[in-house]
Amino acid sequence: MARGINKVILIGNLGTDPEVRYMPQGGAVANLTVATSESWTDKATNEKKEQTEWHRVVIYQRLAEIAGEYLRKGSKVYIEGKLKTRKWQDKDGVERYTTEIIANELQMLDGRGDGQQQGGGMGGGQQGGYQKPAQPQQGGYQQPAQQAAPAYQQPQQGGYQQAAPQQGGYQKPAQPQGGYQQPAQNQQRAPMEPPIDFDDDIPF
C-alpha cells in the first residue's frame, strides 16, 4: 500500500508570461503563475461572488521549453503535478519557505485557431485534451484504467465527451482478444489522431 499520495490537478489561466531560464547543466526551468477561480452566490445578499487563488508552478526540461514557446499570459492550461516546499534565504539572511507545484503534465486548453495548434505542439507525451494527460505511458496511478478502456475507438472519435462514456464500465475490455495488444495499437494510431476541439466542453 502506498504511504501517501501527493497529487495536484489544476485548470486555470496564466497570470503572466512564463519565465524560462537554463540551469548550468543546460536543462530548462519554467516558472508559471496560474490563477484558479471559483464563484458562488451569497445566500444573504443574492450577490454573485468570486475568489481567485494564485499558484506557483515549476516545470523542468523539455516541457519547460515548450511552455516558454507556446504559453502566454491568459493561456488556459491543465496542469498535473505534486506539491513541494523549498527553503531559501532572503536578502536579509532570513530563512523563508515556498510551496510550489512541480508539474509533470501540461496541456493547453485554449479553444480554436492558434490555441488548438499549440495544444497539438505540446502534445508530445501528453496528447489530446482534458481526458488524455494520464493516457500516455508516462506513469501516474490512472494508467492501468486508461489502458483497460476500449482505446481503439478513441483515435476515431476523440474529445472529452466521447472518452467519458467509453470508460463507464470494464465489461468491454474483458471481451476483446489479446488484452495487451490494444494499448500498443492505440500507440500506433495516436500520431494520426485528429486535433481535439476544446469547445468549452470542460465541466468546470
Contact 67, 30 (CB under 8 A): yes
Cα three-residue angle 181-141-102, rounded to 5 degrees:
125
Give the CA distances from residue 91 to residues 1, 94, 95, 96, in Å, rounded to whole numbers and listed in that order: 43, 7, 10, 11
Q: What is the pLDDT of residue 65?
A: 92
Which structural domains are found in the chain, ordered by start? 1-42+49-126 (2.40.50.140), 144-204 (no CATH)
Question: Residue 164: what pLDDT?
Answer: 39
**pLDDT at 122 (0 to 100):** 45
Question: What's the pLDDT score for residue 1?
Answer: 61
Q: Are the C-beta atoms of 28 and 45 separated by less than 8 Å?
A: no
Per-residue pLDDT of the chain (204 residues; tens, 9 = 90+): 668 999 999 999 999 999 999 998 889 999 999 999 999 898 888 899 999 999 999 999 999 999 999 999 999 999 999 999 998 888 888 999 989 999 999 999 885 434 333 343 343 333 333 333 333 344 434 333 334 333 333 333 333 333 334 444 444 444 444 444 444 444 444 444 444 444 444 444
Strand partners, 77: 12, 108
Identify the pLDDT of residue 25: 87
pLDDT at 186: 44
Report pLDDT for 117.
Answer: 38
The one-character DSSP state at 167 is: T
